[in-house]
Amino acid sequence: MYMMAHRGISGHRPENTMASFREAVKQKVDCIELDVRLTKDGVPVVCHDATIRRTSNGKGFIHQLTLKELKKYDFGSWFSEEYKGERIPTFEEVLELVKDESINLNIETKNGPVIPEDLEAKTLDLVYRYHMQERVMYSSFDHFSLKRLYKLDSSAKVGFVFHMNLINLFDYIENTGVPTFSIHPNHFYITDEMIQEAHKRGIKVNAYTVNNRGWADKYRHMGVDGLITNYPAEMK
Ligand code: G3P
Ligand code: MG
């Protein structure tokens, strides 16, 4: 099964930091899942939440802080003193880390409370500048973001993330007009029928966030294609 390290090896390292991504490279996982947002000065950075309160010693919204301001904060100590001094990574720093490694990226575009219309263009631009277009896929809970990505790059591999149990999921996806590479359901909602229907249409199913070995085995037997997990080594 294809293993995606959720926010890097976030079970053992502070999430979405270079320490977390370096460990993913070291463990030779198939893919790193990371969350990309725009700073006040329009730089794509890697952070899950809209604010930095939970994962740093600072506070405030990412979209209201410049990169220079964000770089002052410590994104490691909240997890463990061992990682004190970790800084928020720019998306470009992550591309620099992985460009010569055999590892793929699942780039999750994040927005809210504001929805910057240029997040997708800036992200794509960096991916192409680093010649990573064959090694990345894009995913989002914001399906308008996926539409923007597809409009900008019709060859982009796109994955629909959803945390609700949708009725007529495949009709919904088809109606978006975005060719779908994969679906990323909250793993609780995965059924045999969902997997069969996805595979019939040539769509992969990647389950998030699976951190329990029993569940991992269950999904493996069901035919789920990939796991998004904080513990890729333990889920193998
Ligand atoms: O790729 C989806 C996975 O990341 C789950 O969502 O909230 O952890 O970004 P989240
Ligand atoms: Mg994510």
Out of 3, 47, 162, 209, mutate this one to test ligand 1's pocket (max ligand atoms within 8 Å of CB): namely 209
Predicted complex ipTM: 0.97
| Residue 199 known to be catalytic | no
Read off the pLDDT of each residue in 9-13 and give the average, rounded to a whole number: 99
Give the E-state strand segments of the chain in sequence order.
2-6, 31-38, 44-46, 104-109, 136-140, 158-162, 182-185, 204-208, 226-229
For ligand 2, the distance from its centroid to the CA atom of residue 119, given in whole angstroms, is: 15
For ligand 1, the distance from its centroid to the CA atom of residue 210, given in whole angstroms, is: 11
Question: In 3-state terms, what secondary structure has residue 134?
Answer: helix
Instruction: Please name which of 206, 201, 203 lies closest in space to residue 222, comparing C-alpha atoms.
Output: 206
CATH code at position 218:
3.20.20.190
Kindly state the DSSP code that residue 178 receives in the 8-state scheme: -
Q: Could you list the residue range(s) of the whole structural domain that residue 206 is in?
A: 2-235
Number of domains in the chain: 1
β-pair partners for 104: 31
pLDDT tens, 38-94?
999 999 999 999 999 999 999 999 999 999 999 999 999 999 999 999 999 999 999
Per-residue pLDDT band at 156 (split at 50, 70, 90): very high
Question: In 3-state terms, what secondary structure has residue 108?
Answer: strand
Q: Is the CB of 184 under 6 A from ligand 1?
A: yes
Is the distance from CB of 108 to CB of 35 less than 8 angstroms?
yes
